[in-house]
């Protein structure tokens, strides 16, 4: 989207993991080599005289930067924003267990791009696989 001559522009909101208990920022913990229970999501808005409006049908690219794993089934995925201006992609953490060792870069043609999500992978001490729900229970 090209900024219009009436002073309206485009900007990206802060990336958020959205879940049933509200929103939390980057820094999620999840089992290694497993999809997170909640997809990373970014919302695009544009400023207009009536206030912020969702920016629909705009491409957003999610790219795995560190830690291994996949996003949207590969090393990167491009997803168009929906009617609410938001785009999300499934993120399978890699084998990294270092603090914040899994990073995902999100880019769009918007002010504030790129944005980065971080996550820490954990391995069960008993060898029994952990689920994302066990790692991030909803209160």
Mean pLDDT, rounded, for 62-78:
96
Its pTM stands at 0.75
Q: Using an 8 Å Cβ cutoff, are 1 and 10 in contact?
A: yes
Task: Give me the number of domains the chain comprises.
Answer: 1
In sequence order, the 6+-apart residues with CB closer than 8 A to the CB of 133 are: 37
Residue 37, pLDDT > 60, answer: yes
- Is residue 53 one of the residues assigned to a domain? yes
Which CATH number do you get for residue 77?
A: 2.60.40.10
Mean pLDDT, rounded, for 114-128:
80
Half-sphere exposure of 77 (CA within 13 A, CB side): 19
- Is residue 128 one of the residues assigned to a domain? no
Cα–Cα distance, 54 to 117 (Å, whole number):
21
Q: Using an 8 Å Cβ cutoff, are 67 and 121 in contact?
A: yes
- Is residue 85 one of the residues assigned to a domain? yes
Mean pLDDT, rounded, for 38-65:
86
């Amino acid at each position: 989207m090209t900024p219009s001559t009436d002073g309206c522009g485009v900007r990206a909101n802060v990336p958020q993991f959205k879940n049933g208990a509200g929103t939390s920022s980057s820094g999620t913990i999840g089992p290694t080599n497993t999809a997170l229970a909640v997809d990373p999501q970014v919302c695009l808005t544009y400023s207009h005289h009536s206030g912020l409006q969702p920016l629909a049908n705009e491409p957003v690219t999610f790219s795995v930067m560190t830690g291994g794993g996949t996003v949207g089934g590969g090393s990167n995925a491009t997803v168009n924003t929906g009617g609410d201006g938001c785009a999300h992609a499934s993120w399978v953490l890699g084998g990294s267990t270092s603090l914040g060792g899994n990073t995902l870069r999100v880019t769009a043609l918007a002010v504030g791009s790129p944005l980065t999500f971080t996550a820490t992978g954990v391995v069960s001490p008993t060898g029994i696989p952990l689920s994302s729900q066990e790692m991030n229970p909803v209160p």
